[in-house]
């Protein structure tokens, strides 16, 4: 990258039932972050906000977010897609050299204002997909899960094992809204099917919340924190919109997003060089598709990864020590939360979920049906 | 063999059923206003730092970025900062009676509230005109408790 850029600090808030206005949630979160870092809103020269009009319930969702985030009369812009795109956009603004200290904030109150599955319905193509009323977020997910199972001989139980691990990890994450410290695949099996083979506990919980992060140029970052988290590489890739034009069992766009980020970060063997990964999966079955595409595990290895505990906290390639999208899924901000969780890991602030000695982390994000659009950021404790 | 494409544009019917939203409002600031309106009063919140008086009152100052909670009573008279004459509704249907709407800076406030001005020909309206709030007979603690404004 042309200029060293680092993440200075992060803050998160999540709930399954928001009882304060969204504006208050954002004010408390962002002001708290400024106070923690010891700066004021006037130290920020670029604000990037991230939210979804549908979920918030009015268009140009950011108009009510600006002043709670401290952006009154400041340089502000908005990203409607997943929060990682906001983080990547913020990084690019810093790379331009025109900004030195930036704030990115992603949020959603979708769980309390609007059923997130419905939001996805309105992402469907109105002239074909919506006409028959067959495709929706859950049916497309079930189709994708089934495609992976058929291609690699995976079983529903493999996905239930993944879900159980994520729910156990979520119990170590203070921000998670759903968790179970002793979760087993049997617990997941005992939950109802939403669409076969998707068990309720293997699907994301509706979550309200926000994530804020301060990014800065290298020099500025070192003034603001003893532990900057350096952005080493980033990439994204978008597949064709229509799920009927894709190989659902694999994710070419996740692979390409990863390759672009790895190239910038100088990563040639991700499974070896990455110490911890935070993958955006809305459903347990998505985790193997994505982490395999990112080169963290061998293709079609979901069963083996689960039975050998390779993705566990103490495994060879810990995935989502935070519990990922099954512990909390703030629609829109989820990819940003994955970055924030990598920051917690690399700063050594992940508590009981800490991957010891983590130096390089991968954050992944997705957007669209069956993860049409994928983004990756590679972060490191080491400068340069 | 090639396929005869024919017309490229056709129509299919679509609706956009966006269900019901539940919004959480800024309870404190809005409650202060509607509760005071029940007593036929208008109250706002003042920032102790920049002394801006907000009506309706937010619970933090936009500029100073601090929590604010100092309640101030505002007058029920004020000045028209700008006005608009509604001649058709948002769907384009012409109105039989034009509606004079205005942004009014109440005495003692720094921000403007919205209201309807009655009892005058809109041609005579002007920015800077002084107006007074008239209340409904039995206020219930709602934004509709101010029935109208009239020129004074």
pLDDT digits (tens, 9 = 90+) for B85-126: 999 988 889 999 899 999 999 999 999 999 999 999 999 999
Give the C-alpha separation, B111 to B88, whole Å.
27
pLDDT tens-digit readout, A118-160:
878 888 888 888 888 899 999 999 999 999 999 999 999 999 9
* DSSP-assigned letters across all residues of A316-377: SS-B-TT-HHHH-EETTTHHHHHHHHHHHHHTT--GGG--TT--EEEEEEEETTTT-EEEEE
Q: For residue B136, give the DSSP letter.
A: -
| Percentage of residues of chain B with pLDDT beyond 70 | 97
Of the residues B16, B23, B52, B69, the best mutation for testing chain A's interface (the one with the most A CB atoms within 10 Å of its CB) is B23
| Cis peptide, bond prior to residue B42, ω within 30 of zero | no
Q: What would the two tokens of residue A346 be?
A: 């690399």
Stated as kind and residue range, the H or E segment containing B104 is: strand B94-106
Give the 3-state secondary structure of residue B112: coil
pLDDT classification of B27: cutoffs 50, 70, 90? low
Task: Look at the block and give the residue holding tokens 């509604």.
Answer: B86
The ipTM value here is 0.86
Q: What CATH superfamily is the domain B27-151?
A: Nucleic acid-binding proteins (2.40.50.140)
| CB contacts, 8 Å: A41 with chain B | 65
Q: Under 8 Å CB-to-CB from B65, ≥6 apart: which residues?
A: A31, A40, A41, A70, A72
Q: Using DSSP, how many helices (H) and how many strands (E) does chain B show?
A: 1, 8
Give the C-alpha separation, A370 to A293, whole Å.
14
| CB contacts, 8 Å: B58 with chain A | 23, 67
Which value, in Å, is the radius of gyration of the alpha carbons in chain B? 22
Is residue A219 less than 8 Å (CB to CB) from chain B? no
Is residue A252 less than 8 Å (CB to CB) from chain B? no
Mean pLDDT across chain A: 95
Sign (positive/negative) of CA torsion B125, B127, B130, B136? positive
Stated as kind and residue range, the H or E segment containing A214 is: strand A206-217
Give the 3-state secondary structure of residue A380: strand
Contact A279, A255 (CB under 8 A): no
A339: exposed, middle or buried (Cβ count in 10 Å: 0-12, 13-18, 19+) = buried
Q: Under 8 Å CB-to-CB from A86, ≥6 apart: which residues?
A: A48, A49, A50, A79, A104, A106, A336
- Residue A368 pLDDT exceeds 70: yes
Q: What would the two tokens of residue A182 be?
A: 């002793």
Of the residues B15, B25, B60, the best mutation for testing chain A's interface (the one with the most A CB atoms within 10 Å of its CB) is B60
CB contact under 8 A, B24 and A54: no
| Cis peptide, bond prior to residue A30, ω within 30 of zero | no
The better pLDDT of the pair B24, A179 is held by A179
Q: For residue A297, give the DSSP letter.
A: S
pLDDT at B26: 66
| CB contacts, 8 Å: B25 with chain A | 21
The strand pairing partners of A234, in sequence order, are: A377
pLDDT classification of A267: cutoffs 50, 70, 90? very high
pLDDT tens-digit readout, A199-251:
999 999 999 999 999 999 999 999 999 999 999 999 999 999 999 999 999 99
For helices A286-293 and A252-265, the axis angle rounded to 10 degrees is 40
Give the C-alpha separation, B151 to B119, whole Å.
8
Q: What CATH superfamily is the domain A5-114+207-224?
A: Thiolase/Chalcone synthase (3.40.47.10)
List the domain boundaries for chain B.
Answer: 27-151
Stated as kind and residue range, the H or E segment containing B114 is: strand B113-117
Is residue A373 less than 8 Å (CB to CB) from chain B? no
| CB contacts, 8 Å: A118 with chain B | 18-19
Is residue A130 less than 8 Å (CB to CB) from chain B? yes
Q: Which of A68, A72, A113 sits opposite B21 (nearest CB)?
A: A113
| CB contacts, 8 Å: A67 with chain B | 58, 60, 62
CB contact under 8 A, A24 and B59: yes
């Amino acid at each position: 990258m042309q200029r060293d850029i680092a993440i200075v600090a992060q803050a998160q808030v999540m709930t399954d039932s928001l009882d304060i206005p969204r504006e208050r949630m954002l004010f408390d979160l962002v002001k708290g972050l400024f106070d923690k870092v010891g700066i004021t809103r006037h130290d920020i020269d670029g604000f990037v906000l991230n939210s979804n009009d549908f979920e918030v319930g009015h268009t140009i969702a950011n108009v009510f977010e600006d002043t709670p985030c401290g952006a009154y009369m400041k340089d502000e812009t908005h990203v409607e897609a997943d929060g990682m795109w906001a983080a990547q956009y913020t990084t690019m603004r810093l790379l331009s050299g025109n900004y030195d200290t930036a704030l990115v904030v992603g949020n959603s109150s979708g769980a309390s204002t609007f059923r997130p599955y419905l939001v996805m319905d309105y992402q469907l193509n109105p002239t074909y997909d919506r006409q028959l009323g067959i495709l929706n977020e859950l049916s497309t997910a079930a189709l994708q899960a089934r495609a992976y199972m058929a291609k690699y001989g995976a079983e529903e139980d493999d996905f239930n094992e993944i879900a159980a691990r994520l729910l156990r990890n979520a119990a170590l994450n203070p921000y998670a809204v759903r968790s179970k410290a002793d979760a087993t695949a049997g617990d997941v099996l005992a939950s109802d099917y939403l669409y076969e083979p998707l068990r309720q506990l293997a699907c994301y919980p509706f979550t309200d919340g926000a994530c804020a992060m301060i990014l800065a140029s290298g020099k500025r970052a070192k003034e603001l924190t003893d532990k900057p988290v350096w952005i080493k590489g980033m990439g994204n890739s978008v597949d064709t919109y229509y799920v009927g034009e894709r190989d659902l069992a694999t994710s070419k766009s996740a692979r390409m997003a990863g390759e672009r980020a790895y190239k910038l970060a100088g990563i040639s063997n991700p499974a070896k060089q990455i110490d911890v990964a935070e993958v955006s999966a809305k459903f347990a079955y998505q985790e193997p598709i994505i982490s395999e595409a990112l080169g963290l595990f061998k293709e079609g290895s979901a069963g083996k990864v689960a039975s050998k505990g390779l993705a566990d906290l103490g495994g060879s390639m810990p995935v989502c020590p935070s519990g990922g999208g099954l512990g909390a899924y703030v629609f829109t901000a989820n990819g940003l939360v994955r970055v924030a969780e990598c920051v917690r890991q690399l700063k050594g602030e992940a508590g009981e979920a800490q991957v010891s000695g983590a130096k390089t982390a991968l954050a992944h994000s997705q957007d669209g049906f069956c993860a049409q659009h994928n983004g990756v950021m590679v972060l490191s404790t080491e400068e340069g | 063999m090639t396929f005869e494409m024919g017309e490229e544009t056709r129509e299919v019917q679509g609706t956009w059923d966006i269900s019901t939203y539940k919004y959480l409002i800024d309870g404190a600031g809005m409650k202060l206003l509607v509760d005071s309106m029940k007593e036929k009063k208008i109250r706002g919140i003042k920032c102790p730092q920049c002394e801006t008086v907000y009506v309706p009152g937010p619970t933090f100052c936009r500029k100073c970025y601090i929590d604010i909670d100092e309640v101030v009573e505002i007058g029920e008279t004020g000045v028209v900062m700008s006005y608009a004459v509604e001649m058709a509704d948002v769907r384009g249907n012409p109105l039989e009676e034009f509606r004079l709407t205005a942004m009014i800076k109440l005495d003692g406030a720094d921000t403007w509230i919205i209201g309807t001005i009655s009892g005058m020909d809109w041609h005579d309206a002007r920015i800077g005109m002084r107006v007074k709030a008239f209340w409904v007979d039995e206020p219930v603690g709602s934004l509709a408790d101010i029935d109208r404004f009239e020129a004074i």
